[in-house]
Amino acid sequence: DAVAFYLLSQEVSQHVKVVQSGQGADEVFAGYHWYQKMASCPGDGLAEYAAVFFDRTHDEVNAAVSPEFALDRDVSRAFVEEWFSAPGAPSQSDRAPLRRALRLDTRVMLVEDPVKRVDNMTMAFGLEARVPFLDHDLVELAVACPPGLLVGGGGKGILKDLARPLLPADVIDRPKGYFPVPPLVHLDEAAVGLLRDALLAPEAKERGLYRADHVEHLLDHPHELTNLKYNQLWELGMVELWLQAQGIAS
């Protein structure tokens, strides 16, 4: 959806110079569907979190890259475990998995993905996007809220309750909407050709990032998907195209 934000910002910038964005509301007020599971799951919640965010298993990553790039340690899982167990982690009695997931999402994922994406795309056209849901006083208040106030009403419960005197129910309770472009799942012939040229280019072979047999398999089966239903060939090819565009040799 960075492409969609880019095109939207291009159009909007022709009419106004400052806009408000809803970025952060879902991460701060537990609006995403997985927070409901995190609020009631047993244990530490790591498996539930991994099911939402891990596009491939550790073994699947190692199966895609050449042996010299393979890792013995599952660094993705270790990253989440470190955040979940960091000092100040909530106690088990206070819906700990939910609190831990919200802390990780607001301090890492939100900063490095949604906020950065909108900031970069709007500023490309000199458009200032303000994010009122990330006002530090509001965030501190949300963190202090009992979990039930956050996950109530299917998520963002306290925001929905505050909005009811102001907005009609069909706006507040409508199904959650997104702003994506259609996912590239079934690649057409032109896209497969682009990725084939990139992955079989001399610089790609010299770099040796991916296993040659894995690349050949994906080129023969260009519609295989990851755990989160994204196209495997597209993901590998986009990394290789970026490396080539940046002139990165190894």
- C-beta of residue 96 within 8 angstroms of C-beta of residue 45: yes
* 127-138 pLDDT per residue, tens: 999 999 999 999
pLDDT digits (tens, 9 = 90+) for 40-86: 888 889 999 999 999 999 999 999 999 999 999 999 999 999 999 88
**Under a CB-based contact definition with an 8 Å cutoff, are residues 18 and 128 in contact?**
yes
Tokens of 148: 């039930």
- Per-residue confidence (pLDDT) for residue 51, from 0 to 100: 92
Helix spans in 25-64 (H) = 25-28, 33-40, 46-53, 58-64
**How long is the chain?**
250
The token pair at 138 is: 């509001």
Measured in whole angstroms, the distance separating CA 136 from the mean position of its chain's CA atoms is 22
β pairing state of 128-130 and 18-20: parallel
pTM value is 0.85
CA distance 86 to 88: 6
